[in-house]
Chain A
Amino acid sequence: MSAYFIRRILWLFPVLFVVALITFSLMHAAPGGPWDRDLSSRQVDAGTQKVLNAYYGLDKPLWRQFTAYVFGDVSSTTDKFVCGLVCGNLGPSYRVRGSTVQDILFKPPKGKGFEYSRFGYSLRLGLISLVFAIVLGIPAGIFSALKQNSLVDYLSGFISSVGISIPSFVMAIFMIIIFATTLHWVSVVPKSWDEAKAWVLPAAVLGFGTLAFATRLTRASMLEVLRQDYIRTARAKGLHENIVVWRHMLRNALIPVVTILGPALAGLVTGSFIIETMFSFPGMGRAYVTAISQRDYSMILGTTLLYVLMVSLANLSVDFLYVIIDPRIRLEE
């Protein structure tokens, strides 16, 4: 058991390394350097480019740049060893002058707590939409299974097939047009993200796919549990219906639902950047999209690695949870 998890955690490092390698090589396959991308501002002349390249270590051979990025290297200007990715140093941003990538992502504005950093904003949005999906989705699934083929079942079945197939950013367009443009319940660009009202639409849109998936899965696994012998036994010995549902059915039916939480959380994290952009949400997803349009390579590279790390950790923790709640599961050693 523990050996399995230790191996899984150790396996994270080669995965991250390979992802870093792929991302790094793709970034460097792009023609041109970081200084001649930005067409909106004044162009950097050749001499300055040379100085900048030397300052950021971009004049060194590629393998050396990569090891410098991952492990660290001796800085050419100060002769001190600068630790790389392994110390959590994501390097300087090419576009936002004077800031490192980790500053942009994790540093909150002055006088505010960590939850006001870009990462904090995205984390809050992801968690809110996950809670929204679970709190609505699981009861809806349970109810549809218990009242199979009723009107409520058909309705929730229809809503969940729409939710699963329509991509979240198309849903966002519909929602914005209905609730912001036509009904004026919320404004498209809220004045402040401290108001709870502003969070409703982005969280609902982001969580809708997960909600639909959770509903479907809960319903399917409830229906399977319903037909089991031990449910009939429980009823036959005269247990109260509430106890049958809560203690015998739910405990078993929710096990497969837990397994989707990992991919769901991963989907919420990576799916968020398009939703964040549409709602002008101040999270790291929008920072990522901005970095894409500005071709801020170090920012793209750093954020991608952070996303991959989060997705892997989400999957790992769910596997862990799975073993804890279901003693029948034996993971391969």
Chain B
Amino acid sequence: MAVDNMKTNKVVALNALEKRRFRTPWQEAWGRLIRNKAAVLGVVLIVSFLFIAAFANVLAPHNPLQLNSGKDFLPPSWIETSASGKHGDPEFILGTDTLGRDVLSRVVYGSRVSMMVGFAPTLIIMLVGTFVGLMAGYYGGRWDNFLMRLTDVMYGFPDLLFFIIALISLRDTWLGQFMNGLFLLFFALAIINWVGVARIVRGQALSLKQKEFVEAARSIGVKDSQIMLRHLLPNALGPIIVQGSFLIPGMIITEAVLGYLGLGLKPTTNPDAFFITSWGSLMLDGQTSINAQPYLLLAPAICVALVVLSFTFLGDGLRDALDPRMRGRA
């Protein structure tokens, strides 16, 4: 019996070894990621917010633009009587704003802008940054010099100030009118942030091109473009993904700050528009009645905090999974 047990144990162990042998580094990383509870929680939250953003028109209980006369300034439904003496209405779960619009529906629609602003510029940044970084790191010389000088100037210019200046001055031009001002926002975010990605990829390319496998590839006559695409890029992909996951919350915060300053999405009254309001502008609206009606401010603030925390958890998890040496570093 005991011998039998040992045998099966051994077989199990061998099977496990066999299975492990065929796991690629990406599968290993995936395994590490899904064992990280915080990262999984982050992913679940992000996916739910994406779902809410995509189906906002179905999920929102009311039309976010509809003014309910006489039902303005309602507190959330669980509050009996608010500071202004109004009673909660079960029809409006999170209450209504100054003009009697349903807060929950507006917050649901606001998720669209935040999700879009998190992903769209990041995608452009990753593509451009990776391309320029690879070129600069691999070829060196003029490309490299140009990139480094550019980053020196850009690091001197605080990001938020650039966004503010760019958005103020170009807001009323055709560029600023496009997509209710969102396009300009994406553009400004991308123009500042690609440099950071390029610098990271450049560093990776610089160290990778000294490695033997690149030398081997070059000695058998592989073209430069193939070396970059097949040998450098896959090896630099981990840090690129990690950087991307940390960029996204930064974008969402920036959009909220700019929206709060009244510089983000232009408020629209067109019920067919895809982007109707953003969490930043909701906070700007709520700011005026912070004493009487803190819920107006609280609802979008909690959403921003949740989304940003989720992305940070995911980013931390990705970093630990893709680059185990960095584990536990600040």
A contact residues vs B (CB 8 Å cutoff): 11-12, 14-16, 18-19, 22-23, 26-32, 161-162, 164-167, 169-170, 173-174, 176-177, 181-182, 188, 213, 216-217, 219-221, 223, 266, 270-271, 274, 278, 289, 292-293, 295, 300, 304, 307-308, 311-312, 315
Contact code string B244-282 (vs A, CB < 8 Å = 1, else 0): 000001000100110011110000000000000000000
B168 near A300: Cβ-Cβ < 8 Å: yes
- Enumerate chain A residues within 8 angstroms of B297, measured Cβ to Cβ: 173, 177
Query: B152 contacts which chain A residues (CB < 8 A)?
Result: 11, 15
Interface stretch, picked from B107-115, B201-209, B220-228, B304-312, is B304-312
Cross-interface CB contact of A167 among B157, B164, B256, B287, cutoff 8 Å: B256
Q: Least Cβ distance of A138 to chain B in Å?
A: 13
Give Cα distance in the complex from A12 to B155, angstroms: 12
Are B158's CB and A270's CB within 8 A?
yes
Task: List chain B residues, Cβ under 8 A from A293.
Answer: 261-262
A167 touches B304 (CB 8 A): yes
Given A31-B172, A304-B165; A220-B328 close (CB under 8 Å): yes
Whether A166 contacts B158 by the Cβ 8 Å rule is: no
In-complex Cβ contact of B261 among A166, A167, A221, A289 (8 A): A289
Chain A CB within 8 A of B1 CB = no
The answer on a CB contact under 8 Å between B309 and A166 is: yes
**Which residue on chain B has the smallest CB distance to residue A30?**
B169
Bound Cα distance A278, B297 (Å) = 12
Q: Which residues of A contact B169 (CB under 8 A)?
A: 26-30
Q: How far is the CA of A173 from the CA of B287 in the complex (A)?
A: 9
In the complex, chain A residues whose CB is within 8 Å of the CB of B2: none
> A19: which B residues are within 8 A, CB to CB?
153, 156-157
Given known A26-B166, A308-B158, contact A31–B173 (CB-CB < 8 A): yes
CB–CB A308/B168 < 8 A? no
State the Cβ distance, B17 to closest chain A Cβ, in Å: 31
The answer to whether B170 and A300 have CB atoms under 8 Å apart is no
- A167-B161 in contact given A15-B153, A26-B170, A30-B170 (Cβ < 8 Å): no
- Besides the contacts A30-B173, A173-B301, A174-B301, what 7 more A-B pairs have beta carbons closer than 8 Å? A16-B156, A23-B165, A30-B168, A216-B330, A270-B160, A300-B168, A308-B158
In whole Å, how far is A332's beta carbon from the nearest beta carbon of chain B?
12
A137 to chain B, nearest CB (A): 12
Chain A residues near B162 (CB-CB < 8 A): 22
A-B contact pairs, 12 of them (CB 8 A): A22-B162, A26-B165, A26-B166, A26-B169, A30-B173, A31-B172, A167-B253, A173-B297, A181-B294, A300-B168, A307-B158, A307-B161
Known: A27-B165, A307-B158. A166 touches B305 (CB 8 A): yes
Q: Which of chain B's residues 277-330 have a Cβ closer than 8 Å to chain A?
A: 283, 287, 290-291, 294, 297-298, 301, 304-305, 308-309, 311-312, 316, 328-330
B161 near A170 with CB under 8 A, answer no
Closest CB pairs A-B (n = 7):
A30-B169, A165-B312, A216-B330, A15-B156, A26-B169, A220-B330, A167-B253
A177-B298 in contact (CB<8A): yes
Known: A31-B173, A32-B172, A216-B330. A292 touches B161 (CB 8 A): no
Q: Give A161 to B166 CA distance when docked, in angstroms.
A: 31
Q: Spell out B's residues near A (CB within 8 Å).
A: 152-153, 155-158, 160-162, 164-166, 168-173, 249, 253, 256-257, 260-263, 283, 287, 290-291, 294, 297-298, 301, 304-305, 308-309, 311-312, 316, 328-330
Question: Known: A30-B173, A170-B301, A213-B330. Contact between A304 and B153, CB under 8 A?
Answer: no
The reply to whether A169 and B257 contact each other, CB–CB distance below 8 Å, is yes
Among B157, B256, B311, contact of A308 (Cβ-Cβ < 8 Å): B157
| Known interface pairs A31-B172, A270-B160, A289-B261; A170-B256 also in contact (CB < 8 Å) | yes
The interface centre, meaning the residue of A31, A165, A221, A293 with most chain B CB atoms within 10 A of its CB, is A165
> Whole-angstrom distance between the alpha carbons of A266 and B161 in the complex?
12
- Complex: how many Å from CA A19 to CA B158? 10
A254 to chain B, nearest CB (A): 14
Q: Is the CB of B305 within 8 A of A292?
A: no
Contact check, B263 vs A292: say whether CB atoms are below 8 A apart. yes
Q: Which residue in chain A gives the minimum CB-CB distance to B308?
A: A165
Please give, as numbers and ranges, the residues of chain A lying within 8 Å of B261 by CB-CB distance. Answer: 274, 289, 292-293
B312 close to A161 (CB less than 8 A)? yes
In the bound complex, do residue B161 and residue A270 qualify as a contact, i.e. CB atoms below 8 Å apart?
Answer: yes
- Chain B: minimal CB distance from A275 (Å): 11
Verify B156–A308 contact, CB threshold 8 A: yes
Per the bound structure, the CA–CA distance linking A223 and B290 in Å amounts to: 43
Closest to B254 in A: A167
Chain B positions within 8 Å of A278 at CB level = 287
| Most chain B beta carbons < 10 A, residue from A18, A162, A213 | A18
The answer to whether B308 and A166 touch across the interface, beta carbons within 8 angstroms, is yes
Chain B residues contacting A300 (CB-CB under 8 Å) are 164-165, 168
Contacts of A162 in B (CB 8 A): 309
Query: Given the complex of chains A and B, what is the CA–CA distance between A266 and B168 in angstroms?
Result: 22
**Complex CA distance for A248 and B166, rounded to whole angstroms:** 49
B153 touches A18 (CB 8 A): yes
Which residues of chain A come closer than 8 Å to B308, judged between CB atoms? 165-167, 170
Alpha-carbon separation in the docked complex, A270 to B172 (Å): 25
Least CB distance, A95 to chain B, in whole angstroms: 14
B311 closest partner in A (C-beta): A165
Q: A311 and B168 in contact (CB under 8 A), knowing A169-B260, A173-B283?
A: no
For B330, the chain A residues whose CB sits under 8 A away are 213, 216-217, 219-221
| Chain A, Cβ-Cβ closest to B293 | A181
User: With the chains together, A181 CA to B293 CA distance in Å?
Assistant: 10
Asked if A170 contacts B304 (CB within 8 A), the reply is yes
Chain B residues near A216 (CB, 8 Å)?
A: 330
Per the bound structure, the CA–CA distance linking A70 and B24 in Å amounts to: 58
